[in-house]
Structure 1
């Protein structure tokens, strides 16, 4: 009988290299050596090239945005570049948020071309021989100077420094002048600040200003916390102020209860 050769450590090392020396690439599924850790050399190099190409494209887009950007006349960083003396229209807060006539309103300078390109409402005002077009002054009621200034600045820069109050003010202006991009911007911010305690107030606000994303997010929180919210002062005030909204909330709540109970009932009968 042939004698069995005693296995040495080199034999075990050779077997280990055979078993785990090659693996499948996660990208192209081709074999690769274990030292390449997860992907073959070709796929790794291709992925690196793609990443660099995307970075270059992003840099190009940023450069184009910076080039095309039209700085607001009140932007202090670019005050020398676009002096207010080149503007051809001013906006004024004719009445504050309480409805009282604004005392000595500070005008916010702007360019008709920018207003008309950002808002179909402004375009209609300025293209026709309306008072605003003839006088070069657009009076806006129920708004603070700070909100108006931020509103005009956004039309130039697509940027705004928001807190919860400013987001509400700008959303109202965006709805009134049909600036959809700003409305979406404010809604996203307000949704990020939602919690069960402020959900009722935000729901009523969203309902009033056709803010669907905020409306849906607030409703979801209300339904999740109905037991707590129905005992709060805000809920009682809403019942008195706008009972129609309360009916809508209860209809949605009852519908959820029915839909939740239905699977349980069917499983019980089975």
Structure 2
């Protein structure tokens, strides 16, 4: 049996194990695969029923801080009409060993099938003894939020301390500081250094952003953004980061958009990945749609997407589809 028979393909939150054949009275355990900070295994045992197990690899990390997982697990026939069996969503299940989650399937399965695990959340126990906290809800700026300089800079914006320029969004205005904007963006610095209308009028018009998104944009620039605010406005922040050449914000948006790709957002993210030249996001969206077979779950949306998407992007998608047909 080839090594690939035990390999589990993953994205940041999705794992798929493709099984070509499972003889009667057979047990098989996958190679370890990494989701979050833990290594995991899937196991399949076929006797009178088919049993599927999901569990973390035993380690000091697992013993001291076992994952608390929320996930959706399915078995998908990879041939014919792709019949799917789905287990009810598991919420906040602590997993320590290989008996903490066992799914016994009564329906007989033959031929090739895929075990598909979508991790909705992973939590760890709080070191202070409080409620468990999600490893994916940690804000990307929290590690530096205790810096006095950042806190002071944030107060300059929130309290409008000596503002000297106005940002006009589509539905409101916010006061800001030339020096802060100039040091964070070469585009802003160029505006203030040349005889542009922004220099003369002491105003910048950002008519393609709402006041809420613009506030989030400035909060990021001033080091004062909250994680929920960032998540809410990621796509608007990505556009602004690209427009005003703020590379760290663009990279933060890129990394964040990789974390929660699903059938509801994958086409929009693929379009943005192409538009803003985000290679990791494009690759992940392609893999999610093609390699993981999610293109079958959103046929109508995908057909509508093909009517308006960039021709080069459509060609890339079909190239991936053709390549996949040659494989499993």
TM-score exceeds 0.5: yes
TM-score interval, smaller chain = 0.5 to 0.7
1:181 to 244, 248, 255: 248
Q: Let me know the Cα RMSD of the aligned residues.
A: 2.6
1:64-93 per-residue CA deviation (whole Å, 9 max, x = no partner) reads 943365225343xxx3xxxx2511111011
Pairing partner for 1:139 from 205, 225, 245: 205
Q: Note closer, same or farther for the CA distance 1:195–1:63 as it changes in structure 2 (3 Å cut).
A: closer
Aligned length, in residue pairs: 183
* CA distance in 2: counterparts of 1:231 and 1:153, whole angstroms: 36
Unaligned stretches of 5+ residues in structure 2:
1-142
More helix by share: 1
Structure 1 contact 170–186 (Cα < 8 Å) conserved: yes
Check the 8 A contact 1:151/1:173 in 2, yes or no.
Answer: yes
Which residue matches 2:189?
A: 123
1:98 alignment counterpart: none
Q: Distance between the aligned counterparts of 1:231 and 1:62, measured in 2?
A: 40
Counting strand residues as a fraction of each chain, which structure ranks higher? 2
Corresponding residue to 1:89 among 157, 165, 169: 165
- 5+ long unaligned stretches in structure 1: 1-60, 96-101, 262-270
Say whether the 8 Å CA contact 1:201–1:234 is kept in structure 2: no
* Equivalent residue number for residue 262 of structure 2: 195
> 1:247 corresponds to which residue?
315
In structure 1, C-alpha distance between the alignment counterparts of 2:145 and 2:168, rounded to whole Å: 33
Match of 2:179 among 113, 129, 141: 113
Which structure has the larger Rg? 1
Per mean C-alpha deviation after superposition, the further-off stretch among 219-228 and 144-153 is 219-228
2:296 to 229, 244, 249: 229
| TM-score normalised by length of structure 2 | 0.50
Tell me, in whole angstroms, the C-alpha distance in 2 between the residues paired with 1:90 and 1:71.
Answer: 16
SS of structure 2 residue aligned to 1:138 = strand
SS at match of 1:109: strand
Equivalent position of 1:206 in the other structure? 273
Instruction: List aligned pairs for 1:23-102, cutoff 5 A.
Output: 65-67=147-149, 70-75=153-158, 79=159, 84-93=160-169, 95=170, 102=171
